A and B are shown apart, each in its own frame.
Chain A
């Protein structure tokens, strides 16, 4: 390396800088182009949804697009994480939580339109294990030493985790198995922990077990507070009508059919006895 190739090095550096500057402008446009104030392009709405909804909502999103031409992008996470993002200004048009309390908090923060709040389903929890592991017939059987790690979602910010914890306490086994609990970030994370055999068994959402097509044991609904799943249109203004339309679609016959198939109990329906 001598001074002879210094100019070519300089040219290359300039080339990289120019290229990156162009990229910067592109990113800038992407950032601005997606949220011009007042501009209405309802070809897409963004929905923050609790992760127990993933299989059902992905199907519903496609059906909604087929019916209306508006595509739906989902961001799945625990209800607590999503609430945090919305309160901090995340650009979601609709928030479908796994528990109504998170919807209330979003409304209280001024980021949700109170009049659009609606219950859309009751969630159920199940004991679930991958094939090859003996499935317990009741939650009490979790004390069996063969279940060395028991996965539940983090009860601090995931409603399904809280319901699992309540069920364990109601059944009187929580203290005995506490040291064997492992926590998922949200309910689909919990499902993956069990599915990958990193825990022998988990307490997960019925919808995820159904989507997987495998065996499960329903946990009696009276062992935990009802998982009252509610939604709210966010107060961003833009796309509010399209977001409300998707919320109505959940309650339409086509929407109800999908939700029921994934094990959700719909408003106005009786809780089936386990």
Chain B
């Protein structure tokens, strides 16, 4: 009998994380592409950091900032009656941060690629900036933005290091598919490890094909 919980949990966690990363990430991408303000470089560096940071370092920082001994962790415990760490929600936080840089970087490049003359024309015609952004800039940059979201989803689904540190390896509760693969290898359960690995590899291929088709069929 195969336990499908890890796959189901992984899909739930990474779908939620993708939505969070998309909402925050598109906003940040737009700000970085269009905004001219002090600390822009620093903001971009911080938003991109999870790509280059070892996941364990990200996990360590999350455990320190969200753990039961941190102000955030304590406030969470007061509000919701239980610690944030070692819950599926903690896995969502880790996965969202892992996915964010992909949305920000790819999205920013796509937004910068939109012909500025088009936006200038609308500006001259008296349209407010938010209308230009939602009616022209973002729709025209959608392929790049979607490619970033797809990559972010794949990264969220694949996270191991940060998730295992901040959410642990609790079967039936926080054991995502990548962690289940690791656990199966440790337990000597080769067939479960093989199934999990195959599913993750399959999803990765589908995501990469999607990204390729998004970036090649340009008009």
Q: A interface vs B, CB < 8 Å?
A: 1-2, 6, 9, 17, 19-21, 23-24, 26-28, 30-32, 34-37, 44, 46, 51, 54, 73-77, 85, 88-92, 186, 188-189, 191-192, 195, 212
Identify the closest chain B residue to A37 (Cβ). B81
Q: Measured between C-beta atoms, what is the minimum distance from B134 to chain A in Å?
A: 10
When chains A and B are docked, how far (Å) is the Cα of A24 from the Cα of B11? 11
Instruction: Give the complex CA separation of A90 and B187 in angstroms.
Output: 22
The reply to whether A75 and B170 form a contact with Cβ atoms under 8 Å apart is yes
Q: Which residue of B lies closest to A54 (CB)?
A: B187
Q: List 8 A-B contacts (CB under 8 A).
A: A6-B139, A19-B15, A23-B16, A23-B19, A35-B82, A88-B85, A91-B87, A186-B186
Q: Is A31 within 8 A of B18, CB to CB?
A: no
CA distance A75 to B139 in the complex (A): 46
User: Told that A76-B186, A186-B186 touch, could you supply 18 new A-B pairs with CB distance under 8 A?
Assistant: A2-B219, A9-B139, A17-B19, A23-B19, A27-B12, A27-B13, A27-B89, A31-B87, A37-B81, A51-B186, A75-B170, A88-B67, A88-B86, A89-B68, A89-B85, A91-B86, A188-B186, A192-B185
CA distance A35 to B68 in the complex (A): 15
1/0 contact string of B159-180 vs chain A (CB within 8 Å): 0000000001111110000000
Do the beta carbons of A88 and B81 come within 8 Å of each other? no
Expressed in whole angstroms, the Cα–Cα distance for A30 and B73 within the complex equals 19
Contact A9 B19, CB 8 Å, known A1-B219, A27-B88:
no
Most buried by B among A31, A34, A51: A31
CB distance from B76 to the nearest CB of A (A): 10
* A24 and B170 contact, Cβ closer than 8 Å, known pairs A1-B219, A51-B186, A188-B187: no
CA of A92 to CA of B86 in the docked complex: distance in angstroms? 10
Pair count A-B, CB < 8 A: 101
Q: Which of A2, A32, A46, A192 contacts B173 (CB 8 A)?
A: A46
Q: For the complex, what is the distance from the CA of A15 to the CA of B168, rounded to whole Å?
A: 32
Contact assessment for B81 and A75 in the assembled complex, using a CB-CB cutoff below 8 Å: no
Do most interface residues of chain A lie in helix, strand or loop, or is the interface mixed?
Answer: helix
Instruction: From A36, A73, A77, A89, give the contact of B83 (CB < 8 A).
Output: A89
Known: A23-B16, A192-B185. Contact between A46 and B170, CB under 8 A? yes
Alpha-carbon distance A93/B89, docked complex (angstroms) = 20
B88 partner, pick from A2, A30, A192, beta carbons under 8 A:
A30
- Check A34 against B18 for contact (C-beta < 8 Å): no
Contact A192 B186, CB 8 Å, known A31-B88, A31-B89, A37-B81: yes
Most A CB within 10 A of own CB, among B13, B18, B170: B170
B171 touches A189 (CB 8 A): no
Are the C-beta atoms of B81 and A90 separated by less than 8 Å? no
Contact B87 A77 (CB under 8 A): no
Q: Give the distance in Å from the alpha carbon of A73 to the alpha carbon of B6 in the complex.
A: 14
Give residues of chain B (86-106) contacting chain A, Cβ–Cβ below 8 Å.
86-89, 92
Interface pair A20/B18, CB less than 8 Å apart: yes
Chain B's nearest CB lies how many Å from the CB of A61? 11
